[in-house]
């Protein structure tokens, strides 16, 4: 029994973080390890767990009164301008997750992404 394209999509949807904890985090933007469990289907017929990394923390942001030209252009509705930076992935890598199945029928490897480095970057709605 092998995984088809729809099963791979299901795998990505079923990634579930285990052991996510904010204890011991230091200020700033940095890598944080956590375990994900990948399931082959809704019944967890085949599954595997892998340590991966996420970018967590905060970055410096600011808000200030808008320039007069911005006020004019926005018909005086944009009176505060913000410069926001978000903690995000700067380098990523693929890791393989080995899926173990009952009674040793087969083993499949699935690739998922993990963060390798983090940095503060301009916040973009499409990322979050």
Nearest Cα to Cα of residue 61 among 81, 84, 80, 82: 84
- Model pLDDT for residues 99-108, shown as the tens digit of each residue: 888 877 667 7
**Cβ within 8 Å of residue 56, ≥6 positions away:** 22, 25, 29, 30, 31, 32, 87
Average pLDDT over residues 4-28: 44
DSSP 25: P
The CATH number of whichever domain residue 74 belongs to comes to 2.10.90.10
The number of distinct structural domains making up the chain is 1
- Measured in degrees and rounded to the nearest 5, phi and psi for residue 48 equal -150, 155
Radius of gyration of the chain from its Cα atoms, rounded to whole angstroms: 21
- Residue 116 bridge partners (DSSP): none
42: domain range? Answer: 5-127
- Model pLDDT for residues 31-58, shown as the tens digit of each residue: 999 999 998 887 778 889 999 999 999 9
DSSP H helical ranges for the chain: 5-13, 68-73
Contact 12, 39 (CB under 8 A): no
* pLDDT at residue 30 is higher than 50: yes
């Amino acid at each position: 029994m092998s995984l088809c394209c729809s099963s791979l999509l299901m795998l990505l949807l079923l990634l579930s973080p285990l052991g996510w904890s904010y204890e011991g985090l230091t200020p700033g933007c940095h890598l944080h390890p956590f375990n994900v469990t990948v399931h082959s289907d809704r019944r967890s017929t085949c599954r595997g767990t892998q340590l991966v990394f996420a970018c967590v923390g905060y970055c410096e942001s600011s808000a200030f009164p808008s320039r007069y030209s911005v006020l004019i252009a926005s018909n005086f509705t944009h009176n505060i301008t913000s410069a926001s930076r978000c903690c995000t992935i700067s380098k990523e890598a693929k890791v393989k997750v080995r899926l173990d199945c009952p009674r040793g029928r087969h083993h499949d490897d699935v690739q998922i992404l993990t963060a390798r480095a983090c940095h503060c970057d301009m916040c973009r709605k499409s990322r979050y």
